[in-house]
Amino acid sequence: MITDLWYKNAIVYCLSVEGFMDSNGDGTGDFRGLMRRLDYLHGLGVTAIWLMPFQVSPGKDDGYDVADYYGVDPRYGTLGDFVEFTHAAKQRGMRVLIDLVVNHTSNQHPWFKSARSDPNSPYRDWYVWSKTKPKNANEGMVFPGVQKTTWTYDKAAKEYYFHRFYDFQPDLNTANPDVQAEILRIMGFWLELGVSGFRMDAVPFVIAEKGADIDGQPIEHFNMLRTFREFLQWRRGDAIILAEANILPEDDKKYFGEDGDRMHMMFNFQVNQSLFYALASADMKPLVKALNATRPDYATAQWGLFLRNHDELDLGRLTPAQRDEVFQAFGPDKSMQLYDRGIRRRLAPMLKGDRRMMELAYSLMLSLPGTPVLRYGDEIGMGDDLSLPERYCARTPMQWSNEPQGGFSAAEKTHLPVISEGAYGFEQVNVADQRRDPQSFLNWMERMIRTRQETQEIGWGAFKVVDVGHDAVLCLRYEWRNNVAVFLHNFHPEGVSVQFKLTPPEGEPNRLVNLLSDTHSEADGKGRHAITLEPYGYRWFRMGGLDYAFRRTEL
């Protein structure tokens, strides 16, 4: 059992090494460039850095087509650079999580090259084969509209191989004990080099039964997740797995484990999708339902909360009517949509650069039950480049200054073009300018992150939704160690006034101390609080005396 629950009050920051900072002027970010920016991340309040894939790869899927699990792509540096980076992060009190992409490999991986070249290869059974094309080959594609099939004929192997994703990403036969043992070796290798855990890619596909005879819902091998968890606790007691699993709430316990013995964390896709519906419609009811449906049952489980990540905004769990409303609000053009289920834009342009809505969205993410996960560039309101294909539009280089290439690189050409000109060009949106402006979005985010880390009730406490009588206002109350925190968010474009009753802890006054300003709230004679929220307004309160917000909470 893990005893150091550091991830409960973490601030996770996801970045791509190739897109963050270029140190040698070749147009591609690298570990030495990233190390130059660690003090920036530390100052922002980041406590854990999640790295997208940086291993050796042909780069057809932004590194998710891994060709060597034990090396660093030479474009980003060396293993020595990686170790120096993890050491530098540790010195600043920041942990490192890395992507673990083991559902599939690149078709250029030596394992697959060996498997396809010889039926007697020891790696043949590491992949999934069929002598004939299965009848369900045109079903179950992850990328509909781009991907044509899940079974592709290989001339060298003279058989079809299975790939849930692109045809250059053959699926590993994860039911094979040798493959499972190799996954543990991969995890052990990077743990020794200083990582504190893994963001495991496509977990439901990793544990699903694979084969030509699979018909209908495949069997999922949840014992695999327990094996991964036990290995981490044995090798490094405080290491974690953050699982990417877009599943229904009734299946949450299967992934967390009946007694918390599987995944430490999972991304809360259900809340994420309902949150965007609330932003589009000002209707809180589906979000409240999602929050209540995804309430963890034990102390070690934790949700990862996010607004946008490096993929499309997946809306597949919404009803068709709800999905259409979100499309109309945030991605009305077909060029903004992807895979018939999602929106491929970054948050700032989705919200039309409306500072009020941006603050509302990030205030909500930081105060929802779980651990916030930020995407690089979120903190300055970066935009997207819809001229780039598929999901690359939201993976453009970090914008550091108004210097050429946004201060990202001295090269004339970068791996992806830096966004230039327009409202979201680096000339207008960059770190350097916002650091000098006390009212900038960057400085607002830094203050909010600091307040979030000081408000540990969110990460550790139990929550309940308080009915304030208005469908557009979400009120959450947290309790932890006799502390009470209350958060209100108004999703309506007009101001609203709400009233509600709260019972303070024994011996504490019925006063709400505003954590973000000096507008505190005193209860009336009947114990009611009356709060007026401006359009898209939000409030963070603690219950107690005026000094209560500044008391140190002992862990």
Which two structure tokens, joined as six digits, stand for 550?
């500044």
Helix axes 177-192, 223-235, angle to 10 degrees: 30
Q: Is 182 a catalytic residue?
A: no
C-beta of residue 358 within 8 angstroms of C-beta of residue 386 = no
How far is the C-alpha of 276 from the C-alpha of 410, rounded, in Å? 38
Q: Are 30 and 75 in contact (CB under 8 A)?
A: yes
The answer to whether 244 is a known catalytic residue is yes
Judging by beta carbons within 10 Å of its beta carbon (0-12, 13-18, 19+), is residue 261 exposed, middle or buried? middle
Which of 368, 434, 371, 448 shows the shortest CA–CA distance to 8? 371
Q: How far apart are CA 552 and CA 547, in angstroms?
A: 11
Q: Which helix (H) or strand (E) holds 272?
A: helix 269-281
- According to DSSP, residue 183 is labeled H
Backbone angles phi, psi at 454, to 5 degrees: -80, -20
d(CA 14, CA 32): 17
Residue 529 CA: distances (Å) to CA of 210, 507, 508, 510, 526:
56, 18, 15, 9, 9
User: Residue 102 in contact with residue 174, Cβ under 8 Å?
Assistant: yes
Give one DSSP letter per residue of 368-403, joined into a string.
Answer: SSSEEEEETTGGGT----TTS-GGGGG-PPP---SS
Q: In a 3-state reduction of DSSP, which class is residue 33?
A: helix
CA-based radius of gyration for the chain? 24
Please, how many CA atoms are within 13 Å of residue 128, restricted to the half-sphere of its CB? Answer: 28
Spatial neighbors of 278 by CB under 8 A, at least 6 apart, are: 284, 286, 287, 474, 491
- On the 0-12 / 13-18 / 19+ scale of CB atoms within 10 A, 354 is middle
C-alpha span between 335 and 331 (Å, rounded): 8
> In angstroms, what CA-CA distances link 406 with 244, 261, 417, 440?
31, 45, 10, 18
Active-site annotation holder among 65, 154, 244, 384 = 244
**CA triplet 266, 270, 272: central angle to 5 degrees?**
90
Q: Which contacts (CB < 8 Å, 24+ apart) does range 405-409 have?
A: 406/430, 407/431, 407/432, 408/19, 408/20, 408/21, 408/22, 408/29, 409/22, 409/25, 409/26, 409/27, 409/28, 409/29
Residue from 30, 61, 154, 201 carrying the catalytic annotation: 201
Give CA–CA dist 86/96, Å, rounded.
Answer: 7
* Catalytic residue annotation: 201, 244
